[in-house]
Amino acid sequence: MFFHKKEPIHAVNVAEAHPRFAQLLLEQFGGATGELTAALQYWVQSFHCENAGIRDMLQDIAIEEFSHLELVGKLIEGHTKNVDQTEAFKSTLFAVRGVGPHLLDSQGSAWTAAYVNEGGDVVRDLRANLGAEAGARQTYEQLIKLAPDEGTKKTLVHLLTREISHTQMFMSALDSLGKLTDPMFGNIKPDDTVDIYYNLSQNGQDQRGPWNSEPKFRYVADPAPQK
């Protein structure tokens, strides 16, 4: 059962319509890292999550992402309102599709379910969600830099903030499973190459760090084909 309250979760105030900026905002409405993708990703993941607490978290965050989709939609609506005869409007995707949001990204590509990343394992899904939140946050960072008014910027900062909050929640859920930093999950035991680092890019000086050093990794400086 779903209920929709007409008041948005955060106030949206657009001082003056900027249709070209509205086209950029489409990235977070119908784009790969957008709010629709996140909402559907977390919602679908919840159905095959057997951990009751994490399932509840996934559903709560999914519904919040739908509320964020509403915020982005209202921003796009505000930035395309009453400007359909302006040259700025005519140079955007809205000139053909009409005002308001559409399930397109900023370049005009239609949203696709292929954007939704879910795989039936809670650890795998939570790690995919960290990437999803990072992608969304990066997009909001760029949109905030280009925001044409303070009201729009304030809403975008709120959306960016919640991406950080969700990241922390997913990390805490992984930590509760003992899998925040442990790469091992599933039922298949890895073979004896699991701790080997192959030095396969040998141009210039080879770089060493915790990703290819003991005690976690055995460094193979000059890999050779195995018979």
Task: Give the tens place of pLDDT for each residue, 36-81.
Answer: 999 999 999 999 999 999 999 999 999 999 999 999 999 999 999 9
Distance CA 145, CA 196 (A): 42
**Across residues 193-198, what is the average pLDDT?**
94
Q: Given pLDDT bands bounded at 50, 70 and 90, which one contains residue 225?
A: confident
The pLDDT assigned to 141 comes to 98
> Percent of the chain beyond pLDDT 90?
91
What is the predicted pLDDT for the residue at 203? 77
Instruction: Note the pLDDT of residue 13.
Output: 96
Contact 17, 83 (CB under 8 A): yes
The tokens for 81 are 């309102």
Q: What is the pLDDT of residue 226?
A: 80
Q: Read off the tokens for 184.
A: 């091992």
Q: What is the mean pLDDT of residues 4-15?
A: 94
Distance of CA 222 to the CA centre of its chain: 38
Write down the pLDDT at residue 204. 79
Residue 202 pLDDT greater than 90, yes or no? no
Q: What is the pLDDT of residue 227?
A: 75
Q: How far apart are CA 17 and CA 223, in angstroms?
A: 59
User: How confident is the model at residue 219, as a pLDDT?
Assistant: 94
